[in-house]
Amino acid sequence: MNELKLYNTLTRKIETFKPIKKKQVGMYSCGPTVYNCAHIGNLRTFILNDLLKRTLIYNNYKVKHVMNITDVDDKTIKASQEENISLNELTTKYEKSFFQDVEELNIIKPNITLRATENIKEVINLIKILLEKSYAYKTSDGIYFSISKFKNYGKLAQLEKIKIKKSRVLTDEYDKTNPQDFALWKFHTSSDGDVFWETEIGRGRPGWHIECSAMAMKSLGKTFDIHSGAVDLMFPHHTNEIAQSEAATGKKFVNFWIHGEFLNMKEGKMSKSLGNILTLKEIKSQGFSPLHFRYLCLLTHYRKPLNFTFENLEAAKNTYERLKRKIIEIKKERLKGQDKTKYYNLTFLEAINDELNTPKAIQTLWQVVDDLNFDSKLKIKLIEKFDSVLGLGLKKIKEEKAKLPVYIKELIIGRQELRKQKKFAEADMLREKIKSLGYLIEDKPNGFEIRKVE
Ligand code: AMP
Ligand code: ZN
């Protein structure tokens, strides 16, 4: 039996994945805060969500994947004021940019995407329950969650040993070593401008943490299978999500918590506040495709930090392009050989089911590609099957006819002429000249092939 094993942050253990319903999985991923373009660190996490979902599907589960869009919080309001546009205008713009990145990275879109601003009713209902049960209390600036009332507060982030101070915090993100009562609802102040809802719990807007609890439970129920995000969300965000949800329902919120490590630059974590960010657009403008970046991400296990450098991206690009060329060759060669599908199928499944070990899975992919004793047609079928997990666009690979500059075309014609006249030494000299100009000619039984040197 080859069962899917996942590392569960809640228990700090590798566990066999068992869904609540037999063949169906409910999965929630914290989505982007749409206050500017996503950076490639954010995108590493969204590639992880996609990989997890694809692996579940590969294991024959039906997946209901839900993701939120944080389109109202401290950061979005501040950015809309700085850009001098409405909150809706700002968030619509960056949501569009996010989904463009998603498409280019071959990330399967979630089944359900929910915007926080369209789920205020659910947020209010949840806060009302917390008030009724005395987990929440009102002050002059908002409604807060009382963390000392919730017995297992901080279990996910292992905060048990930290002394809880009797203080509270209005901002969405706060000191990671200082657990405090946090705002569920923030009463309107002039600094929020025209961003507020007139509701039965007062005029104001939701805190960030309650948004995710409300949207997750609305679409997946009180208890569901998997919740994912990057490690920085463990505290306070996910810790607070658990507290609010479990206090309201009296039930376990989520069975499996999956957290991905950061993408780092040499100064440390890639983050907007450190100012060391790169967007997908920026790496594209330097000659890389989004799938080169995806390939790079898969070369590092998701629980290990990925140290980003352009040298690493260049290496990933070269290997990915070599992979594409090899696949084109395999498609052409039509070699009859052994059927090794069963063996490689198992090796690949063992790798991804070993808590998403993509470096090992990619190693298996290369073993298949390089196996000279494996039937070409079956090989291609298997590569395409593996790609349903890796999402590297390998199914769509076709030979791209090189667009040759006129001067290269003329040199090629000249070389062919020399070969016809059996002037091979001169023809070879021309081949070298063409090579020095960046194009490689390979003679084949029925003609020749030419490709650009990477
Ligand atoms: P945000 O748009 O800021 O809400 O972040 C979206 C996702 O990206 C969240 O799951 C964050 O935890 C994650 N994230 C932020 N910075 C990084 C990073 N440097 N590497 C990986 N994930 C990150
Ligand atoms: Zn969230």
- Going from the Cα of 43 to the center of ligand 1, the distance in angstroms, rounded, reads 8
> Is position 267 within any domain?
no
Give pLDDT, residue 314: 98
Which range marks the domain in which residue 422 is found? 406-452
Nearest-atom index, ligand 1, CA of 38: 2
Instruction: Tell me how many domains the chain contains.
Output: 3
Q: What is the CATH number of the domain that holds 364?
A: 1.20.120
> Is position 367 within any domain?
yes
246 and 353 both lie in a single domain? no
Provide φ and ψ at 212, rounded to 5°: -65, -40
Q: Cβ(283) to ligand 1 under 6 A? A: no
112 and 248 both lie in a single domain? yes
- Ranges of the chain with pLDDT below 70: 1, 160-166, 176, 400-402, 445-446, 454
- Going from the Cα of 68 to the center of ligand 1, the distance in angstroms, rounded, reads 14
Give pLDDT, residue 303: 98
> Is position 280 within any domain?
no
Residue at which a domain ends, from 349, 374, 396: 396
Give pLDDT, residue 406: 82
Beta bridge partners of 14: 7
Nearest-atom index, ligand 1, CA of 263: 20
> Is position 392 within any domain?
yes
d(CA 453, CA 439): 6
Tokens in use for 46? 């969204």
Give pLDDT, residue 210: 97
Pocket test for ligand 1, best of 27, 29, 39, 42 (most atoms within 8 A of CB): 42
- Going from the Cα of 237 to the center of ligand 1, the distance in angstroms, rounded, reads 12
Q: What is the CATH number of the domain that holds 134?
A: 3.40.50.620
**Nearest CA owner, ligand 1 atom 14:** 42
Residue at which a domain ends, from 396, 419, 440: 396
Give pLDDT, residue 163: 65
Which pTM value belongs to this model? 0.89
From residue 447, give the alpha-carbon distance in Å to each of 3, 399, 444, 450: 50, 16, 5, 10
204 and 98 both lie in a single domain? yes
HSE-up of residue 140 (Cα within 13 Å, Cβ side): 0
Give pLDDT, residue 402: 62
* Residue 395, C-beta contacts closer than 8 angstroms, at least 6 positions apart: 384, 387
Query: Tens of pLDDT along 245-278?
Result: 999 999 999 999 999 999 999 989 999 888 899 9
232 and 315 both lie in a single domain? no
Pocket test for ligand 1, best of 232, 280, 300, 304 (most atoms within 8 A of CB): 232
Amino acid occupying residue 306: L
328 and 204 both lie in a single domain? no
Ligand in closest contact with the CA of 260: 1
From residue 71, give the alpha-carbon distance in Å to each of 237, 316, 445: 16, 34, 60
Is there a contact between 97 and 185 (Cβ–Cβ < 8 Å)?
Answer: no
- Going from the Cα of 181 to the center of ligand 1, the distance in angstroms, rounded, reads 24
**Nearest CA owner, ligand 1 atom 6:** 32
323 and 424 both lie in a single domain? no
The two most distant CA atoms of the chain are separated, in Å, by 95
Work out whether strand 62-69 and strand 112-115 pair parallel, antiparallel, or are unpaired: parallel
Give pLDDT, residue 441: 86
Residue at which a domain ends, from 351, 369, 396: 396
Q: Cβ(271) to ligand 1 under 6 A? A: yes
Give pLDDT, residue 192: 95
Query: Tens of pLDDT along 401-446?
Result: 667 888 888 888 889 888 888 888 998 888 898 888 888 888 876 6
Q: Cβ(351) to ligand 1 under 6 A? A: no
Tokens in use for 329? 């060759």
- Going from the Cα of 230 to the center of ligand 2, the distance in angstroms, rounded, reads 10
